[in-house]
Structure 1
Amino acid sequence: MDAQHSTVFQPVIRPAGLCGVLVSFGDGLTEPANRAALAYAAAVERAGIAGIEECAPSLVSVFIRFDPLAVPLDVIIGQLSTLLAQQDWHAAALPEGRRFIRVPTVFGGTLAPQLDEAAMVAGRTVQEARQDLSEARLRVQTIGFAPGQPYLGLLPAPWNLPRQTNLTQAVPEGALVVALRQLVLFSVSNPTGWRHVGQTALKLFRPDSTEPFFLRPGDEVQFVPVGPEVLDHVRSDPNGGADIQVIR
């Protein structure tokens, strides 16, 4: 379905406000559409187009902010269109410099109390749920909602869970939550409508660092199951005991 979707959807360029352009590669989240957004955003950055001040990929689109006093909208759209026509972005290689990060994670129990409920909604046993979520190697599709907070996917089809009807008042920093075939790892404590299934010690938002966001779009993450005692041991490590490898 994803491959078929990539051949049917034609990328669209739209103005977004007075100083923005939105380039969309899908009308719904698929692996090829997210791949296209990441690859195209990296290409825009490399191109160094005059007047562009910001380039930010989202799940299936890229937002480009430009200086309308320096470059007219039609010129920016023309240059972006030329770049867009150079290749099939749905089949493009992902950006260089990505990393594979294995994060120690406690699944279920008092630290992640909604694993059992999420498993039931997904039609999986708790053991199957823990296996699904810990064996998946997921891409950081975008960063959003809170500083440095990643959306990771895509999970297998049974995990296309709806959000909860009630709001959880707060989950802690490092909480792993699930819905809509995605996992979200919380960078700060926040309310959520997604189910809390895992807990990590990873600090994603580091405001005093030269790179305040630990994860970047395109990175790949796997959540490795550990016991609570292991998590306690790695809490003093900003990386939460994660193993980090550069993807060659």
Structure 2
Amino acid sequence: MTHAPLSRPRSLAATFSSLVLIAVSVPCAVYEFRRAFEGVTSATDVWLAVGASSLSAIVGLIFLAWIARLRPSALAWIAAFAWGTGGALIISGFGNGIVDPAIEASGLDESTAEFVTSVVTGPVIEEIAKAIGVIVLVLTARRLLTRPAEGAVLGALVGLGFAWGEDVGYYLSALDDGISGLWESFLARALLGAFGHAIFTAVCGYALAWAVTRAARPPQAILAGIGGLTAAMLVHAQANGVGLVAPEDSWNLTYGAIELPVLAIGLVLLVWGMRRRHDTLEA
């Protein structure tokens, strides 16, 4: 006797929230890309920048699709990536655009102001912006989540979308120095600091999913969520800090020696979290 395969559970709340995030994020992304392309006269530069940024995103999406199989839903995946590229990026842009000039005008010397905006305020603003989408998706899809690592995947998707949109602007600026400038920027952002934003927000996503799937009481869940967001900010801050203080003559070596192991640890933990079995959950 054969049995028809069980379909994946669905959630009206998760579907609705995903559609709302997509509806909000698409016009935000269009606005951000229009700003990035302002003043760019070379179509070749546009395609090179978009292509270089897309390469990292595609690699990340393929890996996540392999490890997570589009859980909790394909629509949630689209919403997470869209929020990173649209909603999170525009909130971060406006937030940093207000805070950075205020810090620079505060009387701090140039190096101190750069440190504060790069290591303190930047990670706080950007991780809060990205976390908004993760919180919405995790809360509304909580009945679909089978393990905390699925929340990490949603966070990683938001981070991938954020990096995809952000890197286009960086690569366009780098092309002012030609292909060599693009390569140097790609080396730093896509190879040595590979998937940094995905890792940062995955930490927050894991904690949020743990809060809704494992926490015994609301206070425990709230503390887990706050702790995850704080941890994401700290991991983000350390990456920016390393990039800021690394010696110029050995920047690539110093940055890569620290950030590549962070990537490796993150990948191992994500694979372990998605593959390990629970006595009450499916594999």
Answer yes or no: same fold by TM over 0.5.
Answer: no
Structure that is richer in strand per residue: 1
Q: What is the TM-score of this pair, normalised by structure 1? A: 0.25
Greater RCO, 1 or 2 (C-alpha within 8 Å, sep 6+)? 2
Structure that is richer in helix per residue: 2
Q: What is the TM-score of this pair, normalised by structure 2? A: 0.23
